[in-house]
Structure 1
C-alpha cells in the first residue's frame, strides 16, 4: 500500500538520527515523488549527500531545485568550500545575510585562502551571536597563530572564558585545544610549556582513539601533527638528533597525513643543510606535481589548501637552496623567482602589489 508522506518523514528522521545518510537520500526521493518540490525533503536530501561526502551529488540536487522557491545558496557555497573552490564559495556568500552559519563558513574560507585578517573579522562579527562552541574557540586560536598574532591569543580566549593553562586543558580534555594552545606557546618562544601541552594533546588523542578501537598505526597517523610539532620544539631547543630521528622515521614509514609529511620533510632538510642534497630533492619531489609550465612549482592537491603561506614559503625556500647547492643555478633562480611571486602574489621585480607594468597573474615567466 502507498506510504503516507508523514510516515516517510518519520523514516527520514530515523535515518538522519542514526547517521544513515544514503538511506535518508532514498527516503527523501520517495517524499519528493509523492510531494514534488517539498522544501524539507529537498533540504534533507542535499544535507544527507553532504554528510555522505557526496558533494557532487549535493550540487546536482541543488541544481535540480533551482526552479523552486528555495534558497539553497548556503549549501552550494559549503559544497564549493569542501571541493576547495574557495573563491566561488566566497562569491556566493557575498551579499548573504550574515547569520552565524554564514559567518563561520566565511571565516573558514578566509582561513584556507590565508586571509587571516578577514578571517578574524568574520570571527569578531560572530561575537554578537554568542555562539558557545569549543570548535569555534579552537579555530580562533588557529587563525590568530597563522596570522602572526599569537600574542593576542590569551586576551581573545579570556574574553571567551577559556583557560589555556596546562592544568585547565587537562580538565577540558580537548585534543585540538591543547594542540592549538601549544602552537601559540611555540610562537611566543615558550618551548618548555609548549612541550607539556603537546604531550598532553598526544595523551588525550591517544586515549580517545583507543576507545574508538583504532590500531596503533592508525593512532600514529592521526597524531602525526602533534609528533611533528614535538620534534620541531626539540629542534628549536637544540635537540637536533632527536628531531631528525622523528622526522626521518615519519617520512620513511609515511606514518602521517600529507601536510605533516611535508612539514617533516622541510624541517629535516633545514637541519641537514647541504648534506645529501640529492636525497633532499627526491623527498621534496614527492610533494610536487609535474607542472606543464617550466620552472614552476605545483604542490600535490592534498597540500595546496592544507599548508599555510609560511609553510609553503619554507618548502619553496628549501627547494631553491638545494637546487643552488646542486649547482642548478639557473633552475634554482627561476624556481625561486616563481615561488616569491606565488607566495606574495606580488611583482617579483619591484615587490609591490600594484605594479601594472610587470605584475602578471600567470607568474613571472609571462
Structure 2
C-alpha cells in the first residue's frame, strides 16, 4: 500500500478511534487500534491507545506482555506498566518501575503512594499524600484526604509511630472510619466508638437517596464499620455486644475475604479454650490461601499466633510445636511463639523442657529478657524451686530494681526465712537508686520499707541509720521521729529520750483534729455501740423526770402457754428438752406394728411388745428401718440396704408394707 493511499485511511481510523474513546466503548476502540497497527505497525499513538484499552478492560496481564514485548513503542508508558504490575500484585516490580521514572507527575505520585501503602512503607507514603493534598485541586481531593487519613491511622496502629491528630474533616463515612482507626491506635476506644457510630449513620444516609445502590451493597459497606465497632467493644470488655455484631456481619456473608478473616479470628479470641470445634472452623477461614494481599503483616502475625494457641488448647502437640518453630523463624523479634511452646510443655508436665526452651531463647535474644525471665521464674515457682526463681528475677539487669520486682524478691526470700538475702536485696536496690535516681519517691519508699524490715528483725542500728537519712529529707515527720525513738531505745536509751522531746505536744496534735468528722465516724459504728453510749450518759436532773419517762421503753408482756391454767404449779422441768425430762418415754407406736414379728407359733411376753423398746425377736430386721419408722427411701441406710439386694428383688416400699401387714393379720 502506498503512502498516499494509506494516509486518508489512517486519518479515518484515528477519527473512529477517538469517537470510541470518548464514548468509552473500549472493545471497539481496541479493534480500531489493531486495524491501525496492521496498516502501520510503528504508530506509537495507536499502540498507546491499545494498551490503555486493555487496561480499561482489566486485561492487565495482556497489556503488560504487550508493553514488555514492544520496548521501543512502550518507552513512554512507565505509568501504565507500573499500574498493570500493581493490579497483578507484583508490588515490588511496580515500585522498581516507578523508581526508574526521572520526574514523577501527579499520576505517578499517587500510584507510588498506593504501592508504598501496600508495602507498608507508611512514613514515605504519608509524606507523598501530604504533598498531593497540598499541591493539587480537582475532583479527587476528598479521596486523597481519605487516603491520607488511612496512612496516618496505619502509622499509629501498625507502625507504632505516635502522631498528633491532624484534625481532618469528617464529612464522609470513610473519613470517620479512618479517624476511628487512628483513635484505636491511640488506645482511645471510647472515642473510636463514637466515630464509628457516626460513620455508620453517614453511610446509611449517603446511600439512602441513591436508587442505583441495592440494599446488599449498603450492607457490604456497613460490614467493615460494624466489624471495627465490634473490635472496639471487645477491647472495652463488652463481649456480648461484640459477639452480636460479629454474628450479624457473618449472616450478611460479605464478599471481602479479608474482612471475614478478621471476623473469624476475633471470634476465636472470644472463644479462647471454649467452643474449640467452632474455633477450628473459624481458623480455617482466617488462614485461607486467598488472603495474601488482603491482610497486613501484623494481622497475619496475630492470626498465626492465635492458630498456634488453638493447637495448644486442642492438644495438637505436633502442630503446635511445628507452627511455633515456624513463627520463631519468621518473627524473631517477638517472644510470643517461644512462650506458647514453653506453655505447651508445661501443660504436658514437661517442666525441664519448658525451662530449657525459655533459657535458650533468652540467651539468643536478651532484648526480650523481661517476659521470658518472668515466665521462667513462674515455672520454677510452680515446682517449688524458690531460689532458682529468684535467680531468674535477678537476671533482669536494671529491671530487677523496679519496686514490684524488689517486693517479689523480698517476699520469696522471707518465705524461705532467708532474712539475710532479703536484707541484701533492699541494700542493693537502695544503692542503685542513690546512684541513678537520688531523691526520687521510689528511693524514699524503699528506705522506709527497709527500715521497717530491719526494725522487725532486730537490726536497730541499721534502722536508725536509715531513718536518720530519711530525716534529712523530711525532718518534721512525726512517724519518722517515733520510729527513731523505737530504734534508739533498743541500744541507746539516752538518744531516744532526747529525740522524744521533738515529738509534737498533744495540744499541737489536737489542733489538726476534725471533731465533726470524728463524730460522724463514731456515729456510723453501729446501733450496738450507740446503745452502750446511751447507757453511759449522766443521770438527768430533777426537772427532766418527764423526759426520762419518755425515754423508758414499755416492757412487753410475756406470752403464756396455750394450755396454761391459772393457779397451777408450772412444770419444774419445763426448761429442759423433752427427751431429757424424767417422764419422757418417747413417741408411742402402734402395738400392731410390733406384733407378728418372729417365727410361726412363737409367743411374746408383755415386755417384748413394749413400744418403748426395739423388737429383738428372731427374724426381725434390726439393721434396716421398719415400716412406719423414721427411716425412708432417701436415708443412707435405706439406700444401702436396697443396693445390697439383687435387681429382681427390689420392690417398692409400699408393696413391702402391705405384705408385712397381711402376714401380721394372718398370724393373729
Q: TM-score range by the shorter chain?
A: 0.7 to 0.9
Is residue 2:48 matched to residue 1:43? yes
The aligned counterpart of 1:82 is 87
- Classify the secondary structure of the residue corresponding to 1:305: coil
In the comparison of the two structures, how many residue pairs are matched?
328
Is residue 2:78 matched to residue 1:73? yes
- Classify the secondary structure of the residue corresponding to 1:281: helix
**Which among 299, 303, 308 is matched to residue 315 of structure 1?**
303
Relative to structure 1, is the Cα distance of residues 124 and 220 closer, same or farther in structure 2, using a 3 angstrom cutoff? closer
Is residue 2:144 matched to residue 1:136? yes
Which residues of structure 2 form unaligned runs of 5+?
338-360, 367-668
- Classify the secondary structure of the residue corresponding to 1:147: helix
The aligned counterpart of 1:116 is 122
Farther-moved stretch of structure 1 (84-93 vs 132-141): 132-141
Higher radius of gyration, 1 or 2: 2
2-structure distance, mates of 1:197, 1:143: 17
Is residue 2:61 matched to residue 1:56? yes
2-structure distance, mates of 1:69, 1:56: 15
Task: State the Cα distance separating 1:77 from its structure 2 match.
Answer: 1.7
Farther-moved stretch of structure 1 (76-85 vs 250-259): 250-259
**Which among 148, 154, 160 is matched to residue 165 of structure 2?**
154
2-structure distance, mates of 1:108, 1:344: 28
8 A contact 2:130–2:148 mirrored in 1: no
8 A contact 2:153–2:179 mirrored in 1: no
8 A contact 1:222–1:257 mirrored in 2: no
2-structure distance, mates of 1:45, 1:83: 19
The 5 Å alignment of 1:186-205 reads: 186-205=184-203
2-structure distance, mates of 1:25, 1:214: 31
TM-score between the two structures when normalised by the length of structure 2 = 0.45
Deviations 1:110-161 (A, max 9, x none): 2212232343354456578546632222222222222236752533xx5xxx
Is residue 2:268 matched to residue 1:260? no
- Classify the secondary structure of the residue corresponding to 2:254: coil
Relative to structure 1, is the Cα distance of residues 242 and 8 closer, same or farther in structure 2, using a 3 angstrom cutoff? farther
Relative to structure 1, is the Cα distance of residues 219 and 127 closer, same or farther in structure 2, using a 3 angstrom cutoff? closer
8 A contact 1:150–1:184 mirrored in 2: no
The aligned counterpart of 1:300 is 289
Task: State the Cα distance separating 1:309 from its structure 2 match.
Answer: 1.9
Root-mean-square deviation (Å): 3.1
Relative to structure 1, is the Cα distance of residues 260 and 154 closer, same or farther in structure 2, using a 3 angstrom cutoff? same
Task: State the Cα distance separating 1:300 from its structure 2 match.
Answer: 1.9
2-structure distance, mates of 1:282, 1:232: 20
Deviations 1:171-202 (A, max 9, x none): x3x33222212211222233344333323333
Relative to structure 1, is the Cα distance of residues 125 and 27 closer, same or farther in structure 2, using a 3 angstrom cutoff? same
8 A contact 1:146–1:308 mirrored in 2: no
TM-score between the two structures when normalised by the length of structure 1 = 0.78
The 5 Å alignment of 1:233-272 reads: 233-272=232-271
The aligned counterpart of 1:332 is 320
**Which among 21, 24, 27 is matched to residue 22 of structure 1?**
27
The aligned counterpart of 1:181 is 179
2-structure distance, mates of 1:15, 1:203: 41
Deviations 1:258-287 (A, max 9, x none): 111111111111122111122212211133
Task: State the Cα distance separating 1:62 from its structure 2 match.
Answer: 1.3
The aligned counterpart of 2:496 is none
Relative to structure 1, is the Cα distance of residues 139 and 8 closer, same or farther in structure 2, using a 3 angstrom cutoff? same
2-structure distance, mates of 1:55, 1:123: 26
8 A contact 2:273–2:313 mirrored in 1: yes
1-structure distance, mates of 2:175, 2:20: 32
1-structure distance, mates of 2:90, 2:333: 18
**Which among 20, 28, 36 is matched to residue 31 of structure 1?**
36
Relative to structure 1, is the Cα distance of residues 4 and 190 closer, same or farther in structure 2, using a 3 angstrom cutoff? farther
Deviations 1:327-350 (A, max 9, x none): 123321321332354456999964
Relative to structure 1, is the Cα distance of residues 198 and 26 closer, same or farther in structure 2, using a 3 angstrom cutoff? farther
